[in-house]
Amino acid sequence: MSEFATVLRSWRDRVSPADVGLPAGAGRRASGLRREELAALAGVSVDYIVRLEQGRAEHPSPQLLGALARALRLTDAERDHLFRAAGAAPPALGIVPRYITPGVQRLADRLGDVPLAVFTATYEILLWNPLWAALTGDPSRFTGIERNLIWRHFTEGHDGIEYDAQHEEEFASDLAADLRGAVGRYPRDASLARFVVRLRAASPEFERRWAEARVAEHRASRKTITRTPVGPITVDCDVLTVPGGDLRIVVYTVTPGSEDEAKLDLLRVAGMQALVTAPAGDGAAR
């Protein structure tokens, strides 16, 4: 059996369903993840996981290797070994980090009562919890460059989100300044350089802010998300930076005891299901 197949099977066996937020279920013969569970977490078919563990699938893509590393909660060293065992180069130094560490994954798993998402240093979304999707819309509908918050903000606006004048100005300015800081930290990242060139060409507003040469980190903002199944919800947005990994954990909170808190509680129960209120006199919601 190849080294890749050996470590993949071994690391799958050591991860319990509880580690990844899955129910243990009845009749389990092993404490580790089942192949179908790992396949669901990594976004591939069960058959492909079987072929990987049997050494019959060669040259898995870097994207898949990253997904497997996140699903298996690998350390940086283990992730790099997985890449090398698969015949792929580990993520290079000087490139914007995309790896979600086990600690960040556990944090996201446990903070399900608040909307939370994880972004790269350039604000490409990597991970989100169900309440984030219920509040802002499911991010999985975006692909490619559309997964980048900065791109969408400057090229498409912020339809469905309202700011007061102060926070709107601060948010746009901070995004441009944060991106400039990332360019300075990752000068070897060719895809980042291309992204900035494309964004400057697509958005005169971004080009104007880029010319200011401001460098800063976006830390906080206040906004009202208007298109939710329960009506507008005003949230405070706080951005936490992950030391070493340079990821951004974005958390939305509401004022305790407010109408916004009541709406968020209702949204948490409703999940992704749109709430349709029956007309007066029907006596029930439909």
The reported pLDDT for the residue numbered 223 is 94
**Residue 165's CATH number:** 3.30.450.180
Is there a single domain that holds both residue 128 and residue 197?
yes
- Across the range 17-46, mean pLDDT stands at 82
Domain count, the chain: 2
* Residue range(s) defining the domain that contains residue 29: 3-85
Residue at which a domain ends, from 21, 53, 85: 85
Is there a single domain that holds both residue 110 and residue 64?
no
Is there a single domain that holds both residue 69 and residue 209?
no
Is there a single domain that holds both residue 147 and residue 79?
no
**Residue 25's CATH number:** 1.10.260.40
Is there a single domain that holds both residue 44 and residue 152?
no
Is there a single domain that holds both residue 62 and residue 127?
no
Is there a single domain that holds both residue 75 and residue 215?
no
Is there a single domain that holds both residue 23 and residue 140?
no
Asked whether residue 278 is assigned to any structural domain, the reply reads no
Is there a single domain that holds both residue 116 and residue 36?
no
28, with CB counted inside 10 A (0-12, 13-18, 19+), is: exposed
61, with CB counted inside 10 A (0-12, 13-18, 19+), is: exposed
The pLDDT confidence band at residue 164, using thresholds 50, 70 and 90, is confident
Asked whether residue 59 is assigned to any structural domain, the reply reads yes
Residue at which a domain ends, from 28, 59, 85: 85
* Residue 282: pLDDT over 90: no
Is there a single domain that holds both residue 80 and residue 152?
no
* Residue 281: pLDDT over 60: no
* Residue 283: pLDDT over 50: no
CA–CA distance, 99 with 69 (Å, rounded to integer): 8
Asked whether residue 177 is assigned to any structural domain, the reply reads yes
Q: List, for residues 193-212, the tens digit of each pLDDT value.
A: 999 999 999 999 999 999 99
Provide the 10 A C-beta neighbour count for residue 89.
9
Q: List, for residues 43-78, the tens digit of each pLDDT value.
A: 899 999 999 999 888 788 888 998 899 889 888 889
Is there a single domain that holds both residue 151 and residue 244?
yes
Asked whether residue 284 is assigned to any structural domain, the reply reads no
Is there a single domain that holds both residue 74 and residue 135?
no
Q: Which two tokens stand for residue 68?
A: 């497997």
Place of tokens 């912020």: 158
Count Cβ neighbours within 10 Å for each residue of 178-190 and write b for 16 or more, e otherwise: bbbbbbeebeebe
Residue at which a domain ends, from 52, 85, 118: 85
